[in-house]
Amino acid sequence: MGSSTFRDDGAKALDWAASYLERVGELPVLAQVEPGEIRARLPEAPPERGEPFDAVLRDLDEVLLDGITHWQSPRFFSYFAVTASEPGILAELLIAAMNSVGIAWRASPALTELEEVTLDWVAHLLGLPRGWHGHIEDTASISTIAALAAARGAKPGHRIVVASEQAHSSVAKAARLLELELREAPVDDEFRLRPDAVDLTAVCAVVATVGTTSTTSVDPVPELAARCREAGVWLHVDAAYAGAAWICPEFAWSREGLEHADSVLVNAHKWLLVPMDCSCLWTRRPDAFRHAFSLVPDYLRTPEQREVTTLSDYGPALGRRFRALKLWAVLRCYGREGLQERIREAVRLASVFEEWVRDDSDWELSAPRPFSVVCFRLRGADAANDELVERVNRTGEIFISPTKLSGRTVLRLAVGNARTTEDDIRRAWDVLRREAAALQTA
């Protein structure tokens, strides 16, 4: 593909992306396709000869788009709602154009050094302890594996990890990979880990969650940190979603005790406007990470090695993309104020929705709402709530995901997309009440 073709095709791709973002609010949020439907509409065999780039855009329009669930929609309220902001999107274009592969400092010095600088910047914005070492992994799953591998190595013979029964599934998955035993601790009536129920015998790590997936509850980090410190146990804080809120002083309460933890992760691709993937991981104990991961083969040894950071020393992968550039672009283009504004607006919208639920006797709130996720349900049977989720998602107007709390089905409205307005929240409430009414007459 020659240079002029790249400019022409690029203009088309950019137009496609811009048009997509302009109309994403009108598309069905949840893809309305059956399993296997997209696959069946694609050719079975690859082409023998190349086709113009237009063919890719045509595939998107004619086949793939029907199978896309639109995470960029202002009415995406499922899981944790996220945003790929415009500066972040354009940074991905630049990252791909340069295609830096960070397998060693000299393989791209700016990649390594910008990753250090941006992680320091985010640490500064979120009020993390000074001097911790930060780096980027792709997802919270891998960040958690990295942290628990460091913890395992730091406490030989101790093979138990403690986390609350509300901790993310990635903790259980990491424990399985690392052959650690996960001990699930019970929670109080606000879904927070109960430190009094934790036994630290044979434990190598405790995972505290700030912003659990189901309810965004906040585990008592100060108490856990004190107990871990006394017992010499690693405390890892999973703040994948809610850590972003630390940029606002009014959420500093949820960061308390962090200075006594050993590691913390915050996903910039969740609530900090960075496109997937960008999981930020900081640690007070970089030596333990290096002990777990450092390994430099002959073909990567260089004279400057002792003077520079080798980012693969801190996690399982050798190669890395220039992810720092998209984080940089977002920090540069939003600044502290721009990011604070989006966090606050999401929380405000969630509180508005919460009030509507509270004021309607057909519905009930199912958990406190510390951040931007509302847990609620239709009063009555689980089956009705299960059916309601499927009904509202089939409308394509909104997309929500349910969870289980104390064995019961609970709906979640996760606000977090930067395009979401009060009209979108209102529409969600309208759809929910309309479908609930239809359900009862069905």
In the complex, least distance from residue 223 CB atom to its own copies, rounded to whole angstroms: 26
Cβ-contact 171, 205 below 8 angstroms: no
Instruction: Considering the complex, state which of residue 13 and residue 252 has its C-beta at the smaller distance from its own copies.
Output: 13
Instruction: Pick from 127, 129, 139, 183 the residue near its own copies by CB under 8 A.
Output: 139
Q: Give the binding range for its own copies (CB under 8 A) out of 8-16, 127-135, 183-191, 193-201.
A: 8-16
When asked if residue 150 is in the footprint of its own copies (CB under 8 A), the reply is: no
Q: Enumerate residues 70-129 that contact its own copies by CB under 8 A.
A: 70-72, 78-79, 82-101, 103, 105-111, 113-114, 116-117, 120-122, 124-125
CB atoms inside a 10 Å sphere around CB 32: 15
SS3 category, 76: strand
Instruction: Considering the complex, state which of residue 196 and residue 390 has its C-beta at the smaller distance from its own copies.
Output: 390
Checking DSSP bridges between strand 234-238 and strand 408-414, what pairing results, if any? Answer: unpaired
Q: Enumerate residues 175-194 that contact its own copies by CB under 8 A.
A: 176-179
Q: Enumerate residues 416-435 that contact its own copies by CB under 8 A.
A: none
The string of DSSP codes covering 194-229 is -GGG---TTEEEEEEEBS-TTT--B--HHHHHHHHH
Q: How far is CA 278 from CA 72, 173, 274, in A?
A: 17, 19, 7
Instruction: Considering the complex, state which of residue 341 and residue 360 has its C-beta at the smaller distance from its own copies.
Output: 341
Instruction: Pick from 75, 135, 136, 141 the residue near its own copies by CB under 8 A.
Output: 141
Q: How far is CA 440 from CA 358, 362, 384, in A?
A: 20, 12, 9
Q: Enumerate residues 363-402 that contact its own copies by CB under 8 A.
A: 390, 401-402
Q: Scanning the structure block, which residue is given the tokens 């694609």? A: 42
SS3 category, 247: helix
Q: Measured on CA atoms in the order 134, 137, 141, 147, is the torsion positive or negative?
A: negative
Residue 139 has what DSSP assignment?
A: S
When asked if residue 131 is in the footprint of its own copies (CB under 8 A), the reply is: no
Q: Give the binding range for its own copies (CB under 8 A) out of 190-198, 273-281, 360-368, 376-384.
A: 273-281
CA distance 85 to 182: 36
When asked if residue 249 is in the footprint of its own copies (CB under 8 A), the reply is: no
CA distance 278 to 328: 11
Q: Give the binding range for its own copies (CB under 8 A) out of 19-27, 249-257, 282-290, 434-442.
A: 19-27
Q: Enumerate residues 328-367 that contact its own copies by CB under 8 A.
A: 328-329, 331-338
When asked if residue 263 is in the footprint of its own copies (CB under 8 A), the reply is: no
When asked if residue 300 is in the footprint of its own copies (CB under 8 A), the reply is: yes
When asked if residue 441 is in the footprint of its own copies (CB under 8 A), the reply is: no
Cis preceding linkage at 277, omega within 30: yes
In the complex, least distance from residue 117 CB atom to its own copies, rounded to whole angstroms: 5
Q: What angle do CA 177, 180, 181 make, to 5 degrees?
A: 120
Q: Enumerate residues 36-65 that contact its own copies by CB under 8 A.
A: 36-39, 42, 44-53, 55-56, 59-60, 63-65
| Nearest CA among 276, 363, 238 for reference residue 81 | 276
In the complex, least distance from residue 163 CB atom to its own copies, rounded to whole angstroms: 13
In the complex, least distance from residue 347 CB atom to its own copies, rounded to whole angstroms: 20
Instruction: Considering the complex, state which of residue 333 and residue 384 has its C-beta at the smaller distance from its own copies.
Output: 333
Q: Give the binding range for its own copies (CB under 8 A) out of 31-39, 195-203, 231-239, 257-265.
A: 31-39
DSSP tally for the chain: helices H, then strands E: 13, 11
